[in-house]
A = this chain, B = another copy of it.
Amino acid sequence: MSSWYTKESSIAVSTRVRLARNLSGIPFPSRMSNEQFEELKQRAKSAICDSNTPFAKNLNFIDMASVPENEINAMVERHIISPEFAKRGGRSAIILSKDESISIMIGEEDHIRIQVILDGLKLEEAYDIAEQIDSLLDSRLHFAFDENLGFLTECPTNLGTGLRASLMLHLPACESSGEIASLSDTVNKIGFTVRGMYGEGSKAGASLYQISNQITLGLSEKNALDNLKSITARIIEKEENLRSSLNKLKVEDMAYRALGVLKNCRIITSNEMMNLLSRIKLGIDMGIIEEKINPIELLISNQRFMLMKKFGEMQPEERDIQRASNLREILQQEV
């Protein structure tokens, strides 16, 4: 039972599907009273946890008010919750599966956000799981739905299917050849968007990019997923073609230098670590270097809040020292 980022991956690192849903008869979270939030929370909790379905025994209800701030932020770093949800504070709750692949956020922008995150390229699989939870919840909570518009959501950009599907891709060759901007333009024109690894406005550390659908109105879930799948296939093909023209020795040199720095440094920022791990991942995925390490796992588990979750509260410089020490320890053991 381990999270998506602990598993091996190649260009497609992870798949995420989320459905935005709201209950009829309760105002959207931004206009909801505390009593209404309590009602929402209890109804959502019992809909899942008392359902006697296979899901129920693997899912835990967590009131976010009881979660320490570092752990909340560490959940964002693990992509279990959205950055927006992390800022909700007391008026939010989550129903989370043990392997962290399913997270049902209660009190995000919408009443309920069902998220499924899996390793690699698993769009159908992730959507299937999300849909099963959606059906289960709908049968008990009765989501606000309009015959013409579809599911009603707080923000009109989610109206309709309420579906946002995204793929996190590792695109170092596209990035180094300057292809990201034109790729982003092309993708935008057909209703998709390219973002950094931590969503809107975030930078693409480690050459990790999220491709997601923008259109939720006027096309079916299946169409949206099919379109995302085909655009992703083309981006992966582009990345593979660009990789095949890279100088293998230079990739090897870059990857081993990166490994040498990670195994030896005494201070390292998250940004530098991400860039170095990206080079190692490229070397491993191209079959050029053989190392029994998982760059994505190292990348996630050495982020700011993940580190503080493990080692306690730290100032930025202490964190950079602790990160270096943690990386050295793991890499000496694993390699």
Contact = CB atoms under 8 A, between A and B. Distances in A.
A265 interface: yes
Interface stretch (A157-165, A215-223, A246-254): A246-254
A256 interface: yes
A116 to B, nearest CB: 39
B264 A260 contact: yes
Interface in A263-279: 263-267
A263 B321 CA distance: 22
A250 B264 contact: no
A205 B249 CA distance: 26
Contacts of A265: 253, 256-257, 260
Contacts of A155: none
Interface string A297-335: 000000000000000000000000100100000000000
B266 A263 contact: no
A250 B262 CA distance: 15
Interface residues of A, number: 17
B264 A324 contact: no
A329 to B, nearest CB: 14
A301 to B, nearest CB: 21
A322 to B, nearest CB: 12
A181 interface: no
B253 A257 contact: no
A257 B257 CA distance: 9
A259 interface: yes
Nearest to A259: B264
A312 to B, nearest CB: 20
The listed residue with most B CB atoms (<10 A of its CB), out of A252, A261, A262, is: A261
Interface string A9-38: 000000000000000000000000000000
Contact of A266 (B249, B264, B324): B249
A261 B267 contact: no
Nearest to A264: B260
A253 B261 CA distance: 9
B249 A256 contact: no
Contacts of A259: 260, 264
A323 to B, nearest CB: 12
Contacts of A321: 249
The listed residue with most B CB atoms (<10 A of its CB), out of A256, A257, A265, A267, is: A257
Contact of A264 (B249, B256, B267): B256
7 contacts: A256-B264, A257-B264, A259-B260, A259-B264, A260-B260, A260-B261, A260-B262
Nearest first, the 10 A-B pairs at minimum CB distance are A260-B264, A260-B260, A253-B266, A256-B264, A253-B267, A252-B266, A260-B261, A257-B265, A257-B261, A260-B263
